[in-house]
Structure 1
Amino acid sequence: MNSIAKLLVALALVSLTTGCESFLDVNDNPNSVTPDQVVPSAVLAQALKVTGDTYGLTLNTYGSWTAGYWGKTGTVNGYNEERTYTYSSTYQQGFWGSTYDNLKDYDNIDKAASAQGLLYHAAIARIMKAFNFQLLVDQYGDVPYSQAFQADAATPIISPQYDKAEDIYKDLSLQLEQAVASIKGAPSTTQGVGSEDVVFGGNMTNWVKFANTLKLRILLRQSFVTSLDGYVRAEMTKLQAAPDGFVTTDVQVQPGYAQTTGKQNPFWNQYRATAAGTGASSRNWQAGTQYIIDQYVNNKDPRVAQLYYLATDGDFKGTYKGVVLGDPNPLPGSTQISRWKDYGGILKGYDAPVPLMLAAESYFLQSEAKSRGYLTGGDAAAKTDFNNGIRASFVYYYTPAPSQSTTANNVSANAVPDYTKYLADNTANPLVSWEATGASKLEKIIYQKYLAMNSVTAIEAWNDYRRTAFPKFPASLQSSSPRADKLPVRLLYPQTEVSTNASNLPGNVSQFTTKIFWDVTD
């Protein structure tokens, strides 16, 4: 490429830094250039925004169905896969393609930033590669990893081999560890990260904490595999010594969501309203299940009023009425059941940020690690983290979107008082009180984590169920699963891989019997 052509490419990429004017130019494809032509600061915001779309909408939707948060209403037909778990190779296949495209963005940033001495940009890209690869492994198991980004190499590999999920997981921990070391060891002259970081705004200490917390999540997911116990404990010892600790605030993507076509929060845009203010097409097609609503109502949990409306019509008027997944005759999705509350804890608003990890999850991860002896602190420290996790959930659900901060929808002042009352009202409840007997410490932690992730980071609740078998939520009434719990265990490899990479594709994969390696508890 001659110098003029290089200049034109650079100018085109720099135009991405105009950010919100074209909402990160999300239709531009940084994969069309080679890594040496990439301007990391011009691509990072776009890559982070796409991760938010995938995690906050695609995986949150899938997890909400499989983890028992959502059921179909009588407003629409369809949802056969969600009602029966009879997955095909096209079900959710967009997740695979969009995630690998996103990973290619991060890989380009990593390589270009490393070559240009932009150590902070490279570290962020490496952390986000670990984040996204874990998402893939958790739903598919073995995936292309070591050969994933070699289609444009000197010797191109267009049909990458599949790496073992166990091996990928171990390398993800290593990559996170190296990213942290790179950040901590960067010279004072290293160029900082600015507004292109739409997660932490260039705060590298927070990126270190996020990397530590991701590693903690990864290790706990491996922790029930007997053969990995020694490895997990050794890696936990490293985390114990990490001076910056774990995240204590919600990790969220905020690229500048606004009430404009193509710029709204993706969950709001899909399930509440268009930029013009009209109801989204799928608004009333799904609703909270009776199971999840009962967990709040039966435990006198004030969060229920922040998440759901009371039914306003029909036999259940004035009550919190959910749907049953797989019910052949479900109630309509408008007035006879409890819809998600507008500007509440789930439907926060068109400009609400998208969570990548809740502070509540971080605290519950720490509580589990301490209660099981992986991190020091013992029962007292585990209790503190457990209660902090519940508190953080109240704070998240009660915090409004930016546009609602000066309206009546801002109930953030009620979060801590309602949390305090919730604990006071449940001193003998084994699923709420740390000291109450009747449930193991693990069951308490996963149960409260389940309540905190409802329709927000639902994929993690689904992952936790497969890992721990808690909580015991009901499967669809129309389940075709032969398992005792009547649930699936994974997604099938997408048709795109079946069609283009069949020679490397693992064989005999079933959504009911082919578990992810860390899924050893039934």
Structure 2
Amino acid sequence: MKYIKLSILFLAGLLILPSCDKALDINTDPLVASSADPNVSLPFVIVQYSSRFESELGTRIMDVPQHFSACFNSPRTGPTTSFLTGNTWGMYYTQVLGNLVLVEQDALAAGESSNNVAAIAKILKAKAFFELSCIWDKIPYSEALDGATFASPNFDDQEAVFQGALSILDEAIALIDKIPAEGVFDVSSGDVLFSGNMDNWRRWANSLKLRILMLLRNKSTSVDGQIQAVLSQPLIETNGQAVMLRYAGGGGATNAFYGIVAAFFGPSNETAQVHGPGEPLYNLLANGDPRFDLFILDPDDLGAPDNGVFPDDNTAVLRDNIIRDNLPHIMFLPSEISFYRAELALLGVT
């Protein structure tokens, strides 16, 4: 009888052990990735970011200073909805930052051979947090990206976010400095901006630092020393180093700015008359600027649409040269550095 009882207990134990394993499996969400292949994740992150930026942010950014005469759901006229701003918020925190965290943690775990990947993830992460704060001011930063610990993260002040972004960029540059001479992970196919050229990534990191520091300087000149230090580092200073996502055009490779026009209005901006030049832009280019005919179609000198009014047959319209399927998404040009240098010289900083 004693042996029968022991046998029953042993069999019961065998039944319990698999049940524990299954319980643990249930607690692992099969739809949530725990790692990320950078050659797959980085193109997704960059393209999703670009698509939302070009279609929703870009048009509004052009409309507020009246480079465009009018724009649907423009914050200038007040009708911006939570649906549209929610798209952008979700893009940054879920599609961009959520994936970059996985890319970064895998690269750091892999060691110095993946320093290039970790650096790229950090640079893009710093840029995302910086832009989020530029749009919304206070945002989740220090407690963001850790939903298990911070289900309702606190919102950080803009200065804290900017300083945090600077620290992340410094971390990225330090990783680039320690990339080994051999055995480096090949990220050229996933890096759709620079094809793995880490010299250009270093330049972009320094240039982003300068961009952030220039905004901080609007509040305090205490960053002047940091500005002078970063000016001595490699920056984006030639067109060959410019940061842009190039679109091939056609199905699946179209700039979303043009894609919105083609999907909802017509085959081109010139025929659909969706975006027209704002009066300030029109008047600026009309004073003998050779770029007028590149930007604006107005063969009969009809003039720009009124402020807040869309173009029609009696006004100028933005050219298809500007709104086209293969328009590159420009993220940083050397001219920005030139303007910073000129501003700092005028202020007596350099």
Q: State TM-score, norm by structure 1.
A: 0.56
Q: Which amino acid aligns with 1:319?
A: D
Partner of 1:139: 135
Q: Compute the displacement of 1:213 (Å).
A: 0.8
- The alignment status of 1:365 with 2:323, answered yes or no, reads no
Partner of 1:248: 238
Change in CA separation of 1:370 and 1:125 when aligned onto 2, cut-off 3 Å: farther
Partner of 2:204: 210
Partner of 2:292: 304
Q: Which amino acid aligns with 2:197?
A: N
Separation in structure 1 between the aligned mates of residue 152 and residue 291 of structure 2, nearest angstrom: 48
Separation in structure 2 between the aligned mates of residue 341 and residue 84 of structure 1, nearest angstrom: 24
Separation in structure 2 between the aligned mates of residue 283 and residue 212 of structure 1, nearest angstrom: 41
* Equivalent residues of 2:54, 2:255 under 8 A apart: no
Separation in structure 1 between the aligned mates of residue 135 and residue 271 of structure 2, nearest angstrom: 25
Give the gaps of 5 or more residues in structure 2.
Answer: 1-29
Q: How does 1:416-427 map to 2 (within 5 A)?
A: none
Q: Compute the displacement of 1:87 (Å).
A: 4.8
* Equivalent residues of 1:251, 1:359 under 8 A apart: no
Aligned CA RMSD, in angstroms, stands at 2.6
Partner of 2:273: 284
Q: How does 1:28-39 map to 2 (within 5 A)?
A: 32-34=32-34, 37-39=35-37
Separation in structure 1 between the aligned mates of residue 73 and residue 124 of structure 2, nearest angstrom: 33
Partner of 1:85: 78
Change in CA separation of 1:147 and 1:197 when aligned onto 2, cut-off 3 Å: same
Separation in structure 2 between the aligned mates of residue 173 and residue 31 of structure 1, nearest angstrom: 33
Q: Compute the displacement of 1:358 (Å).
A: 2.6
User: Is the helix fraction higher in 1 or 2?
Assistant: 2
Separation in structure 2 between the aligned mates of residue 279 and residue 307 of structure 1, nearest angstrom: 14
* Equivalent residues of 1:72, 1:325 under 8 A apart: yes
* Equivalent residues of 1:293, 1:320 under 8 A apart: no
Q: How does 1:301-380 map to 2 (within 5 A)?
A: 301-310=289-298, 318-319=300-301, 321-326=303-308, 330=309, 333-342=311-320, 344=321, 346-347=322-323, 349-374=324-349, 376=350
**Aligned residue among 221, 227, 231 for 1:236:** 227
Separation in structure 1 between the aligned mates of residue 249 and residue 80 of structure 2, nearest angstrom: 35
Q: Compute the displacement of 1:367 (Å).
A: 2.2
Change in CA separation of 1:319 and 1:292 when aligned onto 2, cut-off 3 Å: same
Q: How does 1:42-57 map to 2 (within 5 A)?
A: 42-57=40-55
Partner SS for 1:72: coil
* Equivalent residues of 1:251, 1:356 under 8 A apart: yes
Q: How does 1:403-442 map to 2 (within 5 A)?
A: none
* Equivalent residues of 1:199, 1:253 under 8 A apart: yes
Partner of 1:467: none
Partner of 2:61: 63
Separation in structure 1 between the aligned mates of residue 192 and residue 73 of structure 2, nearest angstrom: 37
Q: Compute the displacement of 1:39 (Å).
A: 1.6
Residue by residue, what CA displacement relative to the aligned partner does 1:162-209 show, whole Å, maximum 9, x if unpaired? 112111111111211221121122111332421211111111111111
Separation in structure 2 between the aligned mates of residue 218 and residue 185 of structure 1, nearest angstrom: 25
Separation in structure 1 between the aligned mates of residue 103 and residue 327 of structure 2, nearest angstrom: 27
**Aligned residue among 87, 93, 98 for 1:100:** 93
Q: How does 1:1-20 map to 2 (within 5 A)?
A: none
Q: State TM-score, norm by structure 2.
A: 0.82
Residue by residue, what CA displacement relative to the aligned partner does 1:113-139 show, whole Å, maximum 9, x if unpaired? 111221101101110111111111011
Give the gaps of 5 or more residues in structure 1.
Answer: 1-29, 74-78, 312-317, 377-522
* Equivalent residues of 2:302, 2:315 under 8 A apart: yes
Larger radius of gyration: 2
Q: Compute the displacement of 1:307 (Å).
A: 0.4
Change in CA separation of 1:267 and 1:357 when aligned onto 2, cut-off 3 Å: same
- The alignment status of 1:270 with 2:260, answered yes or no, reads yes
Change in CA separation of 1:65 and 1:31 when aligned onto 2, cut-off 3 Å: farther
Q: Compute the displacement of 1:279 (Å).
A: 4.4
* Equivalent residues of 1:71, 1:325 under 8 A apart: yes
* Equivalent residues of 1:264, 1:351 under 8 A apart: yes
Q: Name the % identity.
A: 25
Q: Which amino acid aligns with 2:280?
A: Y
Partner SS for 2:189: coil
Change in CA separation of 1:170 and 1:133 when aligned onto 2, cut-off 3 Å: same
Q: Compute the displacement of 1:295 (Å).
A: 0.7
